[in-house]
Structure 1
Amino acid sequence: MSETPKELKSEPSIQQTSQPDRRSPPPPVFQQPLPNQDPSETQQPSHLHSELQLTEFSLTNTSVGHQHQAKLMCIKNRRLLLLLLGFSSCAAILGLIYYMHQKCTLKNISNDYAGAATPCLSQACIRASIRLSMFDDPFTQPCDYFLFTCGSDRFSPDSRGRQRGQGIPGHPQNQNKMAVWPEKRGQRIDGKDRGLTEEKILNRKTVLLQYLREILESIDKSRSSAAQKAKRFYSSCLDTTSIEAAGAEPFLTLIQKVGGWAVSGQWNQTDFNSTLILLMRDYNTFPFFNLYVGKNQNESTNGTTKRYIQIDQPDLLIPIEWNSKTNKSQVKAQTLRPFLLSCQRYLALLGATSSSSMIHEGTFMSLSSELAVASAPLDYRLSQGQLYKRMTIKELQGKAPAIDWLRCLRAVFHPQPLNADDHVLLHNLPYIVHMSSIIGKWLNKYELSSSGPLQTYMVLNLLHTMMPALDSRFSETAHNLSVALGNTEEVVYRWKYCLLETERGFYSVLTHLLSERTTHKEAEEIIQNVFSSFKSKLHELKWIDEKALQSIMKKTQSLIPRLFTTKVISSEAQLDLFFSKVSFSNSFFSNYIQLLSLWQKRRSQFLTYQTEETDILSVTPYIQDNELIFPMGMFTLPLFHPTYPRAMNYGVMGFLIAKDILHLLLPDIYNQSETVHTVGECVWTHYLTVTEKERRGEGFFLSKAQQQEVWVQYSALQIALQAYHQSFTNHPTDTSILGFSYTRLFFSSFSQINCDSDPYHQFMPLEPSFLITVMCVKSNLCPRSLQCPNKTQQNFLQKC
């Protein structure tokens, strides 16, 4: 099935900041107004001076004979003069104090050594110091560290930090071909090697999964029963020895519960719709069409929260391709043989004899091919206006009579009340009509047949649903078919697969556990500081006109940034009650069936949710109504921790937050501000000069998308640094790691971030850490120069 999006999202955003000169006063990123200063105080001396002048003028026009008045005026003038001198002295002292404060602040932030800073000795900081020591330090090895692009294969595997994720499975640099992990079912890699490999990956999604893994594996018996059930499910999934020992027997037993099957034993010739309802309701299996819940996209602009049952084409098992000339899906002859071999293998694993196997293979492929003809890819259905077709269940019944629609939908979405006049949304009505016609034809043709082709079709679809809980022979068969079709699949670590499956059923439990461990105060503070710096950045840009600035400022000012907090089930008592009717054993197959039941229960609840449910695995912010929401999954170790030095938190998380905000709020900034082009070209000139690509004629011009992404990441780093200074001004102390100065720790932490796996990483033409080199050119921000002795042309580079 081609997944239908719930919302059509617009393309993302971008930004910049000017750099300070070593000879100039403190740079703009550090400029602050005088704290707590009343404007009237700064103007008072001039008022007094004017008053003195007026008084003197009146004295010169007064009779000399009025000696007593002159004496009194003289005394008054002296008092005023003394008062003036007093105010002037106070103003001078206050100015000196502020200057010294700013000087000390800058000195504290940019000093080469942080000997006076308190070392951070928390467990999180100890782990962070080990991580920092594993990477090359930009301030001790500046010459070659930054000089490759995202995806470069220039460096060998023994280059440590310079390798930057090249060849790391799952890293965004390798997304063109899915990475293969060394661990398969029942096989573990050495814990030490795994730790070294995964510790070097600062991919946000991988970091979150690792963090959730630690939470699940650390749950003890004192936790709530819901948390214990989540851990029990996760543990049974990891027990591959028991799964392998069980073989196909659990699935053969399940077949009997859904009416039997002619291949594996007696078929009870159950009613077609009854079997279909059973598969959809209890086993989350949708052989002929797909069901989910969501808003009507055509109504979303009106602020409605109403959700509809949405009916779509299914995930077909047979491999097909789209013929753009005939606008039909078709099965290619060269794909039929590997698909037939996989069917034969499945039937053999389920105990079918070779003679009976041929009959079921033939009818299954024939029925699959007929259904596939009416399926269509999402872009075609979108162009034909086939999405979000609204009709009542009664109207749908008239168009596709082979399915008992009201009965099916009531069973799947129980206990939600449904009637024939309720509306549903169709995403491929021609397929639904065609599917009903095919089922009707096969029911009439094979109704009395002992082979039961429709039952075979449904059982093999159920097999693919349950395959994750079966022994490795089944998944290997599926993998071999995928390879034969020219696909490459990611074989993930078993723990990661089990974690993702656990999240499907225990979303609310993991949300609660994650919320308990999220440091809300520190996360909110960094969000607010970065967002404040972002808004100040907007005024520094050169906009094409005032209207463009006002438009984005209006949009920005209307948003309230906040950390996500769930409004759904949250307390342990409520969670225990919700999961009270499910129990888990040591059998993963049995537990997996319970998981499907939980997933179906969650699906039915979507119809009545009044608020959007946030994906717990989300690691980027999103806009909901007038709120800019940051998922809790962003603020996890090793990217963020409340005991970290703030320089480390802002160098990593501050940068990522700023980059996300720029992408989200300024999707098309290139055409709105000339600054994007200027800064993008300036940074690129730095890169070509330092790498000497320009002299060798290897340089190329950046596209608009590349210039914009360079500007985004450069601006994000500036915003993060400014936000850190804002935090440091409010709380002028910080801890340190490895004795690094604050600025050095800020930049060194930032340099650990690999080419981040957001949708824009493909447009970044250089390693993000190179931006440190650009910021440190002719700047008093950095504790040490990053120039290489053999690259004297760097002396002529300008600030961007």
Structure 2
Amino acid sequence: MDYTTKDVHMLRMSETLELELSAGQSSKPEPKRGLHPPALFQPNLPIQDPAQAQPQTQVELQRWPTQRLEESDLEIQHPNERTKPTWIQRSCTLSLFILVFCLCAVFLGMVYYIYYSPHQGNGNQEILVIPCDSPACQRASVNLSMSADPFTHPCDYFLFSCRPNRPSPDVTGPQREKSRRDLKEKRTRDRKTELLQYLRKILESNDGLASSAVQKAKVFYRTCLDTKSLDMAGVEPFLALIHKLQLGGWPVSGQWNQTDFNSTLSTLMRDYATFPFFNVYVGEDPTDTAAKRNKRYIQIDQPDFLIPIEWNNETEKSQVTREMLLPFLALCERYLELLGASPGSGMIHVGAFISLSSELAVAAAPLSHRRSKGQLYQRFTIKELQHEAPAIDWLGCLQAAFHSQPLFEDDHILLHNLPYIVQMSHIISHWMTRHELRTSGPLHTFMVLNLLHTLLLALDSRFLDTAANLSVALGDPRARQRSLHSKTNALSEPFATAPRWKRCVLETERGFDGVLAHLFREDAASGAAEELSENILSSFKSHLHELKWNDKKTLQFVMNKVQSVTPRIVRPKENTTEAELDLLYSEVSISTHSFFSNYLQLLSFLQKRHSRLLHANSDDTDICSLLQSLSVTISLLGNELIIPMGMFIPPLFHPTYPRAMNYGVMGFLLAKDLLHLFLPDIHSKSATVGALGQCVWSHYLTVTNKDSEGLLLPAAQQQEVWLQYSALQIARKAYQKSLKKHPSDTSISGFSGTRLFLMTFSQVTCDADQYHHLMPLEPSFLITTLCAKSHLCPTNLQCPKTTQRRLPHGC
């Protein structure tokens, strides 16, 4: 069949049109199936310059039509076949494909809009159709609705103070002032208190089918709260105890059979876990090789002194000041008055007690000083220790304290302050030879008052009230920590000033930690906690590379240290059964009426359990793990980064929370702990720290309408501001990383994504770590600085009060 030029031209036009459609289709990759994270969390992809793509298209359009025409000529040579032209068939197929493609695109677009539109646009209008409706989320929703929202109250939310010594700005209106007080009270519950509240809830729950060990723990806690019974008993239980045959009375009461010094000391150590002149416990030697890592030693350290002391950095000696001594003198007088001592005789015993306490206390030194002097983990045999400090019968006292295990003179022990131990021996020998004090028994009185302090919680409430008065009189919380109220653990505040319920939880946890850890394990969300920890640690490592280090060696040293550690979330031993716990606590007899006798049972049980720790195959080898799992801060143990399970409890963390909430609270706290742990002196190693810390401070001064001229933060405060701002950035990046891996997330109260992350961060409870006094501004203000970079936040925070002033850009 002959074709005209017009027919050929029309055929070429159709093929060209088909090619253009095919080229347009091939230039766009087929979208992957499934849901995609919102654009806010997508990496920036390079965009090809159109000018570079154009020549290739032109060449294809010039070459392919000719080739298509040649192929068509071959097909036209068969006139007997009555079929539709090929270009018509291909056009129909292409049209059908375009139609299907459009329908799929519309469907995926609708799914994307439904699930991910809340992450985009104005954060004030975020509404997610998949809310979290778990009981934990419902409680969190109530708390969130009662808290200030930084995006609706940008002038106020960062001004509430966690520290009483920082005055809040003047406000007007009684309702507004009440709101501030309520919020401040809510925020002062730090993560230590949150864990204690969590344990309290466990102890106060009613479970008629609970095991014997669980019931004993709950009865112990309930009798501890029964102060009415303690007050009715008065001082008689304590006086009856010290007049037992083993203790032989004491001179203050006029009944003392002048018992042997070392015999009385052995009894206190064995039966009442009381160590007046030195501390004794069991632990590993970190200097051991890996092959000996599981071996445990008796450790001997300086004691927790009753008398308040402070360290003088210039003289490098401890000292007792007059300001601290006067309230302590009043405390001792009150104690003896409550114990029935006459005013005349009481002053003689008080004077001797304070004099002996002062001599011992000034021989002590803080941990940092002893570490710098290499005085930790010094190895001696018991025989060598006896030669260094002969006033103490070391083998006899240690055999009494660890009576379930045989001890010999050649056994090794570890000392943590040899100069103190030697000086203590000299002081005791001197007081033993003072004949004028023989009848008053100052050494015996010293031991009895230490026993009184051990039993403080189980005594008439007047004793604890007296101790609390000393805390108030001392005023300085750091002095209180160094003084009488050193009876603390990883969870506690100064013991005498804590609420009664908190003291009772602490003591129950100390004695029944295995039971509480077993109950805690049932609610532990280990999977979600591990994922959060891994993402935070990964973002932390990335953040280190973003700093401008003073030299590469410092960066390499820090990175090697970080890379060498292995994170481990410490949780209670999973194979511990209720039957095993019942057997462990079978030797403890708990009364439903007498907390004093219950407390004596607890002290005896604790000492027996610590004694068994010396045995390599002891059933209590998991004790350290139990204590670590109920802690609230991370630590380093060799090359292991210990992350306690006790950190991951409501309301700070819950596996059903939206990840934005978990990362905004616990992610920030964990990142802050990592920075403090690995970068304690980062200010001197990176210029970024001081510059960014001062930038945030300048932003704060501008927003709060304060004069910023000449206000330069000290280096320590610059570092703390940088550190907490960096912790917020690390947590935010870790949250974005989690979204890339698992794009879906839930919401609370209609809030989700970045807005929920920042809202929950603004409600982070005041974290009373040892550095919080260095923070010159509220941590929640960091949101304002972060949001100065508007692309990082759902909306740019600006306080109307500062709109007339030029705000700095984000730091």
| TM-score (structure 2 length as normaliser) | 0.75
Q: Which residues of structure 1 form unaligned runs of 5+?
A: 1-25, 35-44, 72-82, 169-195
Query: Which residue number corresponds to residue 766 of structure 1?
Result: 777
Query: Which residue number corresponds to residue 215 of structure 1?
Result: 202
Change (3 A) 1:110 1:662: farther
Q: What amino acid is the match of 1:495?
A: W
Please point out which of 394, 401, 416 is paired with 2:390.
401
Greater relative CO (CA pairs within 8 A, separation 6+): 1
For the residue of structure 2 that corresponds to 1:235, the secondary structure is helix
Please point out which of 132, 152, 177 is paired with 2:144.
132
Mapped partners of 1:297, 1:203: distance in 2:
31
Q: Which residues of structure 2 form unaligned runs of 5+?
A: 1-36, 46-52, 78-92, 481-493
Mapped partners of 2:719, 2:100: distance in 1:
48
Query: Which residue number corresponds to residue 749 of structure 1?
Result: 760
Change (3 A) 1:699 1:198: same
Residue range with higher mean Cα deviation, 579-588 or 662-671: 662-671
Please point out which of 434, 439, 455 is paired with 2:444.
455
Conserved 8 A contact 1:29-1:722: no
For the residue of structure 2 that corresponds to 1:615, the secondary structure is helix
Please point out which of 286, 299, 314 is paired with 1:310.
299
Query: Which residue number corresponds to residue 687 of structure 1?
Result: 700
Between the aligned residues of both structures, percent identity stands at 58
Change (3 A) 1:425 1:636: same
Change (3 A) 1:475 1:711: closer
Residue range with higher mean Cα deviation, 336-345 or 453-462: 336-345
- Report the Cα offset of residue 746 of structure 1: 2.1
Please point out which of 334, 338, 346 is paired with 1:349.
338
Conserved 8 A contact 1:131-1:199: no
Query: Which residue number corresponds to residue 109 of structure 1?
Result: 119
Q: What amino acid is the match of 2:117?
A: K
Change (3 A) 1:649 1:275: same
Query: Which residue number corresponds to residue 75 of structure 1?
Result: none
Change (3 A) 1:399 1:54: farther
Q: What amino acid is the match of 2:598?
A: N
Q: What amino acid is the match of 2:195?
A: L
Conserved 8 A contact 2:789-2:810: yes
Query: Which residue number corresponds to residue 653 of structure 1?
Result: 666
Note if 1:715 corresponds to 2:726: yes
Conserved 8 A contact 2:570-2:629: no
Mapped partners of 1:218, 1:157: distance in 2:
42
Query: Which residue number corresponds to residue 798 of structure 1?
Result: 809
Residue range with higher mean Cα deviation, 99-108 or 227-236: 99-108
Mapped partners of 1:115, 1:159: distance in 2:
33
For the residue of structure 2 that corresponds to 1:311, the secondary structure is strand
Residue range with higher mean Cα deviation, 755-764 or 745-754: 755-764
Conserved 8 A contact 1:412-1:604: yes
Q: What amino acid is the match of 2:513?
A: Y
Mapped partners of 2:720, 2:97: distance in 1:
51
Query: Which residue number corresponds to residue 595 of structure 1?
Result: 602
Mapped partners of 1:542, 1:50: distance in 2:
48
Change (3 A) 1:51 1:216: farther
Mapped partners of 1:602, 1:51: distance in 2:
85
For the residue of structure 2 that corresponds to 1:765, the secondary structure is coil
For the residue of structure 2 that corresponds to 1:132, the secondary structure is helix
Matches within 5 A, 1:489-638: 491-538=497-544, 540-542=546-548, 552-567=558-573, 570-585=576-591, 586-607=593-614, 608=616, 613=625, 614-638=627-651
Change (3 A) 1:244 1:690: same
Residue range with higher mean Cα deviation, 122-131 or 359-368: 359-368
- Report the Cα offset of residue 251 of structure 1: 0.7
Please point out which of 257, 273, 285 is paired with 1:284.
273
- Report the Cα offset of residue 418 of structure 1: 1.7
Deviations 1:77-113 (A, max 9, x none): xxxxxx9999999999999999999888763313443
For the residue of structure 1 that corresponds to 2:125, the secondary structure is coil
- Report the Cα offset of residue 245 of structure 1: 0.3
Mapped partners of 1:160, 1:729: distance in 2:
47
Change (3 A) 1:425 1:537: closer
Query: Which residue number corresponds to residue 76 of structure 1?
Result: none
Change (3 A) 1:354 1:221: same
Number of residue pairs matched by the alignment? 728
Mapped partners of 2:309, 2:669: distance in 1:
40
Conserved 8 A contact 1:202-1:753: no
Mapped partners of 2:311, 2:392: distance in 1:
27
Conserved 8 A contact 2:160-2:180: no
Deviations 1:255-286 (A, max 9, x none): 12222334446434433322221111111122
Conserved 8 A contact 1:651-1:746: yes
| TM-score (structure 1 length as normaliser) | 0.76
- Report the Cα offset of residue 153 of structure 1: 1.6
Conserved 8 A contact 2:160-2:184: no
- Report the Cα offset of residue 378 of structure 1: 5.4
Query: Which residue number corresponds to residue 406 of structure 2?
Result: 417
Residue range with higher mean Cα deviation, 328-337 or 590-599: 328-337
Deviations 1:42-91 (A, max 9, x none): xxx99x999999999xx9xxxx9xx999x9xxxxxxxxxxx999999999
- Report the Cα offset of residue 634 of structure 1: 1.5
- Report the Cα offset of residue 605 of structure 1: 4.4
Q: Which of these two proteins has the greater Rg computed from alpha carbons? A: 2
- Report the Cα offset of residue 790 of structure 1: 5.4
Query: Which residue number corresponds to residue 167 of structure 2?
Result: 153
Query: Which residue number corresponds to residue 135 of structure 2?
Result: 123
Matches within 5 A, 1:722-737: 722-737=733-748
Conserved 8 A contact 1:134-1:160: no
Query: Which residue number corresponds to residue 190 of structure 1?
Result: none
Q: What amino acid is the match of 1:603?
A: H
